[in-house]
Amino acid sequence: MTQTTRTFGGAEVHFPPQSSAGAGDEFVEVRVTSPGASGADRAGSPGGRNQRIRLHDYERIFAVPGLYEEIVQRRLGCRTPARIAGLLARAAARLGWAPGDVRILDAGAGNGVSGEAFAQLGMRPVVGLDILPAARDAALRDRPGVYGAYLAADLGALAPDEERLIRDAAPNALACVGSVGGGHLPVAAVAAALELLAPDALVTYAYHPELGADPLLALLRDAEPLVRERALHRRTVTGGERHCEAVVVRLARR
Ligand SMILES: C[S@@+](CC[C@H](N)C(=O)[O-])C[C@H]1O[C@@H](n2cnc3c(N)ncnc32)[C@H](O)[C@@H]1O
């Protein structure tokens, strides 16, 4: 990959030479050019010094407004949140659901890129949820009003009051955008989330076929398949390609 350096909001971003690594082992270098200007110092990078950050070190990346979007969306070309939102909206429309009737539990919501993509198509991300408090902080900081509520919680170990909040929001869709498999949401956590949905509900997710078979295939075997589509997820930091398979299913009535 061309080693261009790009500056945004007080920080420079570039990809240092590195071996073509697996999903969790990619690095980016961030250099703060004007400390405090963008909150970039919160990534642990004092002005003028390069800081090497693992791409999956979400806490440090979310600490800097715009850094996740700069790296993942703009530099690595990830379009998966918008693509999944489009697939979910079209699947819902084919079932006769108005966009505003799609009430989404966005699991592994990160700093809200996925929630924003759903909202842009008129759907309602009624609850965002992420295991990292830093993700919630970033979503509320950068995308206030996108989510009805945002919980910092482990989807696989929800407290009774967290479950109640989700049930009260009456989600009829579960989205796991870039958050299933690969060290993120385990199957058991997704299984627990299904129990919080309306009886007639959609589930959408994307997984990386390079990492193995669809992790939710067995869990969702009785669901009605609506969409299954493979596409480029993003480039890797070394210029390779990472693909994902996007899936939408409708849960069988229980
Ligand atoms: C690749 S990010 C995707 C963020 C967002 N959905 C997007 O499309 O930009 C995956 C997110 O899943 C979250 N995550 C991983 N395990 C989780 C768990 N057990 N419960 C809730 N969130 C989890 C991570 O903290 C991370 O923010």
pLDDT digits (tens, 9 = 90+) for 38-74: 554 555 544 567 889 999 999 999 999 999 999 999 9
Q: Does the structure show a pLDDT above 70 at 84?
A: yes
Q: Indicate if 63 and 90 belong to the same structural domain.
A: no
- Centre of ligand 1 to C-alpha 35, Å, is 28
Look at residue 10 and tell me if it is in a domain.
Answer: yes
Enumerate residues 6+ apart whose C-beta is below 8 A from 164. Answer: none
Report the percentage of the chain scoring pLDDT > 90. 77
User: Which whole number is the average pLDDT over 151-179?
Assistant: 97
Indicate the top mutation candidate among 163, 184, 234 to test ligand 1's pocket, ranked by most ligand atoms within 8 A of CB.
184
Indicate which atom in ligand 1 lies nearest the CA of residue 176.
6
Beta-bridged to residue 27, according to DSSP, are 54
Q: Write the DSSP string, 79-101.
A: -HHHHHHHHHHHHHHHTT--GGG
For residue 213, is it within any domain? yes
Higher pLDDT, 253 or 177: 177
Residues 172 and 195 occupy one common structural domain: yes
Model pLDDT, residue 30: 92
- Going from the Cα of 29 to the center of ligand 1, the distance in angstroms, rounded, reads 22
Count: domains in the chain: 2
- Do residues 41 and 129 share a domain? no
What pLDDT is recorded for position 40?
47
Domain co-membership, 64 together with 92 = no
Is residue 1 in a domain?
Answer: no
Is 90 in the same domain as 200? Answer: yes
Residues 190, 242, single domain; the answer is yes
Same domain? For 103 and 180 the reply is: yes
Is 181 a pocket residue for ligand 1 (Cβ < 6 Å)?
Answer: no
Among candidate residues 21, 55, 75, the one where a domain is terminated: 75
Among 61, 129, 131, 204, which residue has the most ligand 1 atoms within 8 Å of its CB, making it the best to mutate? 131
Would the pLDDT of 87 be above 60?
yes
Q: What confidence score (pLDDT) does residue 5 get? A: 74
Burial of 49: CB neighbours in 10 Å, binned 0-12, 13-18, 19+: exposed
The answer to whether position 63 is within a domain reads yes
State whether 115 and 16 are in the same domain: no
Is 204 near ligand 1, meaning CB less than 6 Å away? no
Residue 111 forms part of a structural domain: yes
Sheet holding 149-152, edge to edge: 149-152, 124-130, 103-107, 173-176, 202-207, 241-250, 224-235
Last residue in a domain, options 75, 97, 128: 75
Ligand 1 centroid – CA 74 distance (Å): 19
* Residue 151: strand, helix, or coil: strand
Look at residue 138 in the predicted model and tell me its pLDDT: 98
With 70 as the cut, is the pLDDT of residue 227 above it?
yes
Distance CA 112, CA 124 (A): 13
Question: Does residue 56 sit in the same domain as residue 144?
Answer: no
End-to-end distance of the chain based on CA atoms, in angstroms?
A: 49
Which of 38, 60, 75 is a domain's end point?
75
Question: Rounded to an integer, what distance in angstroms lies between the CA atom of residue 241 and that of residue 116?
Answer: 25
Clarify whether residues 158 and 207 are in a common domain.
Answer: yes
Average pLDDT, the chain: 90
Say which CATH number the domain at 230 has. 3.40.50.150
Ligand 1 centre to CA of 48 (Å) is 30
- The reply to whether 129 and 65 lie within a common domain is no
Do 26 and 109 share a domain, yes or no? no
Q: What is the DSSP string of 227-238?
A: EEEEEEEEE-TT
Confidence of residue 210 (pLDDT cuts 50, 70, 90): confident
Domain that holds residue 38: 6-75
Q: Helix 113-120 crosses helix 80-94 at what angle (to 10 degrees)?
A: 40
pLDDT of residue 37: 47
